[in-house]
A and B are shown apart, each in its own frame.
Chain A
Amino acid sequence: MKKVENINLGTIKFVIDTDAYDALENYLDTIESHFRKSEGCEEIMEDIEIRMAELFHESLFSANSIISMKHVNEVIAIMGTPEDFGATTRTRVNGSDTKSRKKYQAKRLFRDQDETVVAGVCSGLAAYFGVSDPVIVRMIFIIATIVTGVPLIIYAILWMIIPVARNANDRLAMRGEPINVDSISKQVEEELYNLKDTLEEVGKSFGGKKKG
């Protein structure tokens, strides 16, 4: 038994297996990103979808048949992949271009002082391993401490050996983000925002004191 999806391809309704649907969507995304730079991309995609709809229509046994992976592969073979379109040189250049732009610098372990409960060890570990929420790491630490007691010692050692992320560069390295003008300005913006919050809080507490 398989799950199916209903799709509208080139104004025709089709019923398609979920795995075939994923393959088809992936294929359309690939050629769309290939044609994105050329003029009339939308129209080209529309033409291609219409033609694919026609090919599916021809290859299906009856109007109630379901498009399977086999059909999708056949149609893709007829339409061709971007490499077949003879634009390999261009895509290759673009490929290396984006690769170099996305070159992430090696991650380094830091203690995150923006997100601390005790010393920022857990939040630093979370950033290093790409865990979205440091609370998860903290929970693991706490549970493991209750059960075995060992992580408490580990925490103390990590506290001593892991340096604090002091500046924007450190913080980017902590998350493994590339160091470039964009990311640094983003980081600086974040810091200014935090600073503003802190100043406001300080201002409030001062105001409170004066009144009291």
Chain B
Amino acid sequence: MNALALHRDAIVIDEVRLDEARRIAGAVVDPEIPVLSIADLGVLREVRLNDGRIEVLITPTYSGCPAMTMIALEIELALEQAGFGPVTVATVLSPAWTTDWMSEDGRRKLTEYGIAPPVRGAGRRALFGAEEVACPQCGSLDTSRLAEFGSTSCKALWRCNACLEPFDYFRCH
């Protein structure tokens, strides 16, 4: 135990290693949507050194998203396995996460996975408003909402009127 602690104390992390830690942390995937990494989602905010230790800052998506605990554990595990010693994962609330932070790569991967990506700048405040969502299967805009709430907090259930397939839509937040 003491030997291990000494060994950990001896870890020196330079900029190159820090970049590697960023890459490893960013590659952790969302347990609910395994095609998206937390870098794609914009959940990973920063990886930095704090008193010689790696500190990872993440931001929650939805207030009650149960995946956040899982994501924090996965980050700790991935970095420890890569030899970064014990790391801390902290949550930052501000600025509040928005689906606008999702990367282009992430949006493409979502569509390929069969989930329509969030429509940018959609009028989420309209009391009885309508959004225009493209079907991830056939690309048609002739779609309709079946239910605003889907299998996870971040998804709604839609249907394509052209190809008749139901699909998940990643809601704007």
A and B pair up: no
Q: Which residues of A line the B interface, CB within 8 A? A: none
